[in-house]
Chains A and B, each alone.
Chain A
Amino acid sequence: MRERGTIEAQGPVRRVAFFEGVRHGLAVPSIVVFATMLGFGSLAHANGFSALEALLATALIWAMPGQVAMADLKASGADLFVILLAVSMASVRFFPMATILVGTFRTEARHPAARLLLAHLMSASTWPMGMAAAQRMPAASALVYYWPVGTLCITAGCIGTVAGYWLSADMPEIVRLTLVFLNVVFLALLFALNRDRLVILAVAAGAVLGPPLHALEPNYGVVLTGLIGGTFAYAILGRRR
């Protein structure tokens, strides 16, 4: 899919890195991503998207929280502006993540298109893998490792999305509901992976404020929750590091 001459032109070190990337990309992250997107596929089905739209969402947005926000808020009847604001706020983390990742590979990935592709393939699973690779091998090899990891993960996500969509369409209600519920459990646990006190406080503040603010102001509730909860957490812990 994406050798672009890197493999045959360079020595064995790169080939080793590439196949390690293939192995890692086929292993746990792809299984996790598949399971996650299985849930998103069923949520998209439940909320009136077509299979193609669900697939495009995973391929083009490639951010589970943003995708879930989009599908859920559409169903709750929020304004377009609010949905896009919430989706955007849910994905702000890609700004610092892309800055760090692309910065790590800035001498190896010179072409702007390659840099944008690096940033697009980033996700909660692939970013740490790419960063860890850059720690343990030369940047050039780490980049060769990252391409298959990113490509395989997003492919697994797309397959999972379509699988979840079809399962939802043909399965009994219990399966449908469980797959939709999987989104909630998965994202909640994704937060639990964090050990940073500031992040934990921001998550707690958001979780506490989310339902009451939504009840008060269904349209802007999610955006207000982020601004108030996030600012509160920052005010308490953000300045001390």
Chain B
Amino acid sequence: MSSLAVTPLVLVLLSAAVTFLWRGLGAALASRIDTEGTLFRWIACVSYATVAGLISRMTVLPTGEIAETPLALRLGAVAIGFAVFFLAKRNLLLGAAAGAASFASGLILLGS
């Protein structure tokens, strides 16, 4: 596949279409399918690994402005977010806030 140039709007609409495909398929096949089956388990694994790979890559090798920030700061802030998340009994908001706050503090300290 060569890189087809599409406008961001078309990209959004196509992304919406490929996402809705799964929702629609699930709605259409509701209660006629075994969601505990082997195929679904493999699909779930692939889906989770895809997103985890993307997030890990966005942390280690980000694109855009954020690539200028130190790797250690990004990793450290994620680690602090995780620590607070678990200390606060798996509180998503607190963990995310702590991670973002650490990142911002680090940027201020580094004087960027």
* A50 lies within 8 A of B57 (CB): no
Complex: how many Å from CA A63 to CA B78? 21
Complex: how many Å from CA A116 to CA B43? 21
Distance (whole angstroms) from the CB of B34 to the closest CB of chain A: 9
Select which of B40, B49, B99, B112 is within 8 A of A96 by beta carbon: B40
Distance (whole angstroms) from the CB of B59 to the closest CB of chain A: 5
Question: C-beta contact mask, B2-20 vs A, less than 8 Å → 1, else 0?
Answer: 1110101101111110111
Select which of A31, A92, A222 is within 8 A of B93 by beta carbon: A31
In this assembly, does B30 line the interface, its C-beta being within 8 Å of a C-beta of chain A? yes
* A89 lies within 8 A of B55 (CB): no
Question: C-beta contact mask, A209-220 vs B, less than 8 Å → 1, else 0?
Answer: 111011100000
| Secondary structure call for the B interface | helix
Complex: how many Å from CA A60 to CA B81? 29
Select which of A60, A175, A192, A222 is within 8 A of B85 by beta carbon: A192
Complex: how many Å from CA A180 to CA B15? 20
* B96 lies within 8 A of A189 (CB): yes
Distance (whole angstroms) from the CB of B78 to the closest CB of chain A: 6
* A93 lies within 8 A of B30 (CB): no
Question: C-beta contact mask, A72-108 vs B, less than 8 Å → 1, else 0?
Answer: 1011110111111011111111111111111100100
Select which of A119, A184, A215, A232 is within 8 A of B26 by beta carbon: A119
Task: Report if A185-B95 is in contact (Cβ < 8 Å); known contacts: A80-B3, A106-B30, A122-B23.
Answer: yes
Taking CB atoms, residues of chain A closer than 8 Å to B60 are: 210-211
| Size band of the interface chain A makes with B | 35 or more
Task: Report if A47-B52 is in contact (Cβ < 8 Å); known contacts: A174-B107, A185-B81.
Answer: no
Complex: how many Å from CA A149 to CA B51? 26
Taking CB atoms, residues of chain A closer than 8 Å to B52 are: 191, 202-207, 210, 229
Tell me the A residues contacting B by CB distance below 8 Å.
Answer: 28, 31-32, 35, 46-50, 52-53, 56-57, 60-63, 65-70, 72, 74-77, 79-84, 86-103, 106, 112, 115-116, 118-120, 122, 173-193, 198-199, 202-211, 213-215, 221-223, 225-234, 238-239, 241
11 pairs from A and B in contact (CB 8 Å cutoff) = A32-B92, A80-B4, A89-B46, A96-B26, A97-B26, A98-B26, A180-B65, A185-B95, A206-B48, A207-B56, A222-B50
Tell me the B residues contacting A by CB distance below 8 Å.
Answer: 1-4, 6, 8-9, 11-16, 18-27, 29-31, 33, 35-36, 38, 40-61, 63-66, 69, 74, 77-78, 81-82, 85-86, 90, 92-93, 95-97, 99-100, 103-104, 107-108, 112
